[in-house]
Every structure is written in structure tokens, then in C-alpha cells.
Amino acid sequence: MDAPAIATQGLTRRFGELVAVSDVNLRVVPGQFFGFLGPNGAGKSTTIKMLTGLLAPSAGTIQILGHDLTANPVEVKRQIGVVPEGMALFGRLTGSEYLNFVGRMYGLDRETAAKRSAELLEFMQLADQPKTLVTDYSHGMQKKLALAAAVIHGPKILFLDEPFEGVDAIASTTLKAMLQRMISRGATIFLTSHVLEIVERLCSHVAIIHRGLLVAQGSIEELRAGVEAQSAAALQAGDAQAAPPSPGEKLTLEEIFLRIVGGARLADQELSWLG
Amino acid sequence: MAGLTLSRETRGQFAAIARVRWQLTFNSLRTIRGRLEMVSRVLIGFWFTLGGIGGAIGLAVGSWFLVSNEKIEWLALMFWGIFLFWQLFPVVASAFIETFDSSNLLRFPLSYPAFFAVRLVYGSLDPATLLGCLWLLGIWTGISIADPRLLVGAGLALFVFAAANILLARMIFAWVERWLARRRTREIMGVLFFLIIISFQFIGPLAGRFGGKAHPDVARFTDLLLPLERLLPPGLAASAVAGFAHGNFLGGAASFAMLCAYVIAFFWLLNARMVALYHGENLSEGLARVSPKKEKEKLPVRVGWNVPGVPGPVAAIFEKECRYLSRSGPMLFTLIMPIVILMIFRLTPLKTDRDSFLLRAPDFAFPIGALYALLMLTNLVYNNFGADGSGIQFFFVAPVRFREIVRAKNLVHASILALEMTLVWLVVFFVFRPPSLDFTLATVAGILFAAPVNFAVGNLLSLYTPKKFDFGTFGRQRAANTTTFASLGVQAVVFGIAAAAIVPAYFLHRMWIATLALLTLAAIAFVFYEFVLSRVDRIAIARRETLISELSRV
């Protein structure tokens, strides 16, 4: 049997007294488009930082494609691509120079790095401003460049932290097309996003983290079935608010998410001045 | 512009703006960095205040002297000095500070008069305005003491002159504020500022060399400029005071009226821009956009640099570092300083009793220039990752060992040092005298000793006390205090050892002893450098959270 693309065991991270991520056991199979969801401050970014070697875990192990990340970081890094939270760009290079640089850092020869840089810039519609420095790019352009840099070496696993944040519809379509192409060629993608519609459309499997704890993991269908079963049980127990969907209706990922982590409800008497 | 009526809403808005300003200042004190920043501001403020009060006293004495000696027209010189400072300083200082973008206020229901008043008041609370007003107060005091009859007339003229300065400064800013908010423009202004500073360094030597000779061209040029000078605000202010002093009330009143006309004109121009800004116009948007013609331009596929003898990732970092440096006006500027310093030494007066040390002992020009070149690299060497910003994260996700990254950066530093030393040698060769072979060898040996020590300690401090800095901005690019003190200590020790080897050998006329001693030390330093490098990976992994959070700070 193939090793899982990502496997964590008891992954924990503490910041002083605060336990940001607690005892997380993740398992992502190669070829999966995996969404990692959670409310603000739930521990998504902390987890992705630990999975990519940007943050040391306080406890637990991380296996990437069968390699222990702590014991063999360079081998792991060769096989993954990352778009971290801050995008990790070098602002005073042009887009082409930056991609060339990243390609060579991943061990590509000069000619291959240059060729792939040009192709990626063209694909991402960034080739029109060859002399513009990255620092002068718009936020969406920087996101596209960061993604281009993450894939230039053809990684087997791609980690994306909020790749669609602040990206317009055109750029978002481009990004999605590229990610779908990678999945169709057998890569694994692990992404965090607040845009649940996109996650529902792209991902086959998701995990939900809430207050540092992994509260759900599986395919979207499995999560849906679990939530519906819980709702039915709660309704039988007399909870009128736990209504399952009408026959023929399917719970959306957003509804599943809200039922798992608990959504805020606007009480009638609150913010009455809002009109 | 409609009159500013202080309705309850407007008063509330003014109070809210003042309060938010106060809260921003107060909240900045929550961090040690913020507190240190405040301390430095207080210190700078203290020196500014001293300068302001000292200047005011000096100007008071000067104006008292001029009025007492019936040389009132010469007041124009003081007014011109103040005028130039008032208008130029804020523009140049913008290279060092982030400007407040008051267009943020436009989303609030602020009336136009309130918007205008906030912009005017907020913008005028700058050192130039405060110092300008203080200095004018000093001049007014001096004039009034010398001739009490001028108390009202001079007071009025200086008040209007101050108003003209405030409105002109605000008008200029209203037009170029957004332009200056652009990184590239700030860089250009920063370079100009440093060019001015450097040109000041040459004034003394040049004056000493060429002073005392009559230059008829200068006199002719001055004759041409004088009538024009009298039509501009500083000249008009001086003419108005002189007119009142000499009993020529008509002439004084005419100058005063023209000064008032300037105030009205500046106000009108400022108002025109403010109205446009109030309605949402932004001068800079067109500049930031790429022209359609430019958009079509595409560069051919370019391969990265090939650095012989080094692996691909090291060559990639080498190229990246060189590109960063070549795009950094401030850094390039720092790197040419050794040449500038040698030139300044060379231009000092040739009279024997005032010869500079280097003219008397030109053998030392090359070692001193080389050490200065090393000193100029301190900011780079001791804060290796400072300019990488959030890009530091990439180094942690890339499959490259940290020691290779650091080695690549040191390779760049060493290349710059070699280039600088070559330039220094050439300058010494052509400007002083050809450096002797034994001094050249001893200097090279000294640098071979000093550089690895600096690189090794610099690498450690870069990991332990990183500090983000922007290659494109002048000023406020200080390394961490620990780094500054440690680097000073290292330099003192290294230079001391080098001097201890060179100076006795020089007096013994046995420079080869110094060369040999320094080469031995260089070998030890190189071993020390490699030892530190072998520890870099472990330290970087242990320090990654601090490095990332410190360098990714917005």
C-alpha cells in the first residue's frame, strides 16, 4: 500500500499557555484535493505551518509521503510546494527573476527554470509587466505569483494557505484551473480557505478544526451523512432547531460546517437599531 | 470655501480624529519597540527644540544687529534661509517617514471646511512649521528690541510671511503628497537628500582650496537675481519691514500687500486642489498604471546567472542578492562612501600646517579606505536576512540547507568587498600615490583576517537578532541595538589587532611581518568562520519562529 501523502500523529502546538493545535491526527491520501477548514483562530495556519516545516510542533509526528519531516526535512521539502500565509515573496525582484530564483533553489537547471518561469508567467497572465517589481504587484498578482512559485518544480503535494483570499474572479478561475490540472495528474493538494463554496466545488475530502481540535474528517459525503444523522437524532430527542434538510435537498458544505462548529445566530432583540 | 461652522457634528469629528491620533500613539507604547521608538522621538524632539531655540536666539541677535546698524534689507537673507528650510525640509524628510494619507477621511461624512481644516492643521504640525514659526518669533523679538516702533509692522509682515509659508508648504504637499507616497519617488528624494549632505562635506575643502579669489561671474549672476528676489515672499517680507523702518510707509505697505497677495494665491491654489481631493480625485492613480504600450512589452526568456564553481541554489541566491543591491539607491550610496571619503581627504587644503593625515602619510590611504569599505558593509553583514522580509519563509520551505543560503550571502559580501577594495586601490593610486606593494599585501592580509570574523559574527547575529529593513528607504533602517553594539565591539577588536600588526611593522620598515601575522590570523579566522557556518542550520531551525515573525512584521 502507498504511504499516505500526509499523516500526522498527535500533532500539538502550544504557545505558552495557549494550545493552538491539540492532538491532531490527519490522514491525506495521495491524489486527494483536501480542504482544511475552521473558524478564525481555530489553528488552520498553525497546522499548515507545522506541516511545511515553518513551525516546530510541541508534540507529535508528521509524515509526508512516508518521510518524517523532522528527521528528513530537505527530502520532504523537495517534494512539496507551499503558498504560506505571508506568500514569502521577494519584493525587489521582478516576477520572472523571482520564479527563476525559486526554480533554481529547488534544483532545476538554469534553462529549465527560465523556460518554466516564462510558461507560468504566461499562464498566470503576469507576463505583460516584465519589468515591474513584485512589491508593486497588486495583491491578486502576488497571489498568482506565489502559486506559480509553489508549483515550478512540479511538487507532489501542494500546501495552500488561503489561496483565494483577495483574488478576483478571473484570477480565481485561473488558479482553480491550474489546481484541477495538478489533481488530474496525481498531485495532492492541501488547502485552507474561508470560501466554503470553492472548497465544496474543488475538494473531495475535508477536515474541520475547531479551537485546536480536529472535530471532523472525511469525504464531504461522509460529513454530510454524519451531520444529517446527528440532526435526525437530535430532532428525535426534541431539539426543534436541529432540523434535517427536506427530502431531495442536500446540506451544503457551509451548512455542514456551521452545524459542526456552531454558527452565530442573530437574536431578535440584538442590533435593533440596524433597521 | 464656505466658512467653517463648528457644528456639534464637526466638533465631534475633530475630537474623534484627535483622539484616534492619541490612541495610535498610546497603543504604540505597548511594545518595547514602540517605547524605544517614542524615546528616540523624544530625544530627536529635544534636539530639534534645542536647535529651534538656539536658532531663534541667534536670529534674534542677528536681526537686532541688522536693525540697529541700519542694514534691514539684509533681513532678506534670514527670511530666505527660513523659507527654503520650511519648503524643502518636509519634502526631503518624506523619504524617511510614512506620510499620513488623509484621503482616508473621505469615507466619513466630513464637510469640506472641516476636511480642509483637518488637512491644514494636521499637515502643519511638522518640525519645519514649528521651527519656522519659532525662528520668525526670534527675528520679530530682535527687530522689536532694536526698534520698538516696528513691533506692529514687523509683527504683521512676519505673521503674513508665516501664513504664506504654511499655505505654500501645504499646497506643494497637496499636489505631490500621493506622488511621494510611492516607493520609487521616496527613493529618489532620499538619494537627492544624501547627495546634498555629501555635497556639504565638500564645501569646506573646496572653500579652503578656491576661497579668497574674486569671481566676477558670481557677482554678475547675483546682480541679475536680486530684482527677482525682491518680488518673492522672503524679499517682500524684508522690504515691508525695511519700508516701515525707514518711514517709507507706502513702499512698506506695497510690499506687505504683495505678500498678502501671495497668501491669497497660495490659499486659492491649495483650495483648488483640496476641492478636487475632497471630491475623490487622486493625482497618483494615473502614474501607477502601466501604459498600454508598455503592457505589450515582453522580455525574452532569460536564464539565471551562472556563477562558476558554485551549486545552482547558491548561484541563485547570489544573483538575487546582487539584484536587490543594484535596486537599492540607499545601499549603493553606502557602498560608494569609501571613495567619497578618500576624495574629501584629498581635497582638504594643501597648506602644510592643515594637511590631512592621509596627505602626510599616504601609505595609510589604502588600509584606511579598505577598512572603511568593510565598515560600510556592517548593515548588510550583521543583518543578513533583514531585506528578505516575509521571503525568509521561503528559505525554510526550500530544500536548501541554511548554511548554503548564508554562504551565498557571504559570497556576495565578499565580492562587494573585493570590488570596493579594487576601487579604493585605484582611487589611492590616481589621487594620492600608488600604494606600495608591501602595504597592499598587508592590507589584503588584514581584510582576509577581518572579513571572516565579521561574517561569522554577522551570521550569528543575523539569526539571533534579526531586524526587518527596507533596501529602498533611507533612514529608520537601524539594526537591532544588540547587533549594533556587538558589531561595534567586533570592529574595535579586529581593527585594533590589525593596527597592532601594521603600525609597529611600519615603523620597523618590516611590513612583511605584519603581512605574515595577519595571514596567520586570517587562517584562524577562516576556521572560526567555518565552525560557525557548521552550526547555522541548527540555530536557524531553532530560531525560525522568531526569524519569521520578526522579518514578516508589517
DSSP, res A94? B
H or E stretch including A82? strand A80-83
Is B496 an 8 Å CB contact of chain A?
no
Please give the average per-residue pLDDT across A97-109, as a whole number: 92
Q: Is A224 within 8 Å of A167 (Cβ atoms)?
A: no
What per-residue confidence (pLDDT) applies to B285?
41
Residue B100: the pLDDT is 55
Q: Which residue of A has its CA nearest to B324?
A: A92
Cβ <8 Å between A100 and B303: yes
Nearest to A86 among B296, B299, B393 (CB): B393
* pLDDT exceeds cutoff 80 at A70: yes
The C-alpha cell at B169 is: 508648504
Q: For residue B328, which amino acid is it? A: S
Residues B487, B461 contacting (CB under 8 angstroms): yes
Q: What is the pTM of this model?
A: 0.72
| Nearest CA among A168, A171, A184, A93 for reference residue A125 | A171
**B296 touches A at CB < 8 Å:** yes
> Which residue is closest to A81 within chain B, CA to CA?
B397
Q: How many Å apart are CA B549 and CA B413, to the nearest integer?
A: 25
Give the integer Cα–Cα distance in Å for A182 and A167.
20
Residue A196 pLDDT greater than 70, yes or no: yes
Q: Which of B290, B332, B397, B538 to substitute to test the interface with A, most A CBs within 10 Å?
A: B397
Which residues between 108 and 137 in chain A have a beta carbon less than 8 angstroms from any beta carbon of chain B?
A: 108-111, 113-115, 117-118, 127-133, 135-136
Q: Would you state the pLDDT for residue B473?
A: 57
AA letter at B28: S
Q: Which residues of chain B have pLDDT under 50?
A: 2, 95, 98, 284-291, 295
Substitution target in A72, A83, A105 with the highest count of B β-carbons within 10 Å is A105
Number of other CB atoms surrounding residue B354 within 10 Å: 10
- The DSSP line for B127-155 is HHHHHHHHHHHHHHHHHHHH-GGGHHHHH
Residue bearing the bigger pLDDT, A47 or B175: A47
Pick from B327, B399, B548: which is nearest to A77 by CB?
B399
ipTM of the modeled complex: 0.81
B399 touches A: beta carbon within 8 Å: yes
The stretch A94-119 carries a mean pLDDT of 92
Disruptive mutation site among B289, B301, B314, B331 for chain A (greatest number of A CBs within 10 Å): B301
pLDDT surpassing 80 at residue A191: yes
Burial label for B472, CB within 10 Å (0-12, 13-18, 19+), is: buried
Q: Which of A169-178, A189-198, B197-206 has the lowest mean pLDDT?
A: B197-206
pLDDT for the residue A268: 61
Q: Which pLDDT score is estimated for B539?
A: 94
Q: Residues near B290 by Cβ (< 8 Å), separated by ≥ 6?
A: A128, A129, A132
Element (H, E) at A189: strand A188-192
Give chain A positions within 8 Å (CB) of B304: 100-101, 104, 110, 113-114
Residue type, B339: I
DSSP letters spanning B297-366:
--PPP------TTS-HHHHHHHHHHHHHHHT-HHHHHHHHHHHHHHHHHHHS---GGG--HHHH-GGGHH
Is the CB of residue B330 less than 8 Å away from at least one CB of chain A? no
B279: closest CA among B117, B122, B110?
B110
Total residues belonging to chain B: 554
Question: Which residue in A54, A74, A111 is closest to B393 by CB distance?
Answer: A54
Phi, psi for residue A158 in degrees, rounded to 5 = -120, 125
How far apart, in whole angstroms, are the C-alpha atoms of residue B144 and residue B126?
27
What is the C-alpha separation between A47 and A36, in angstroms, rounded?
9
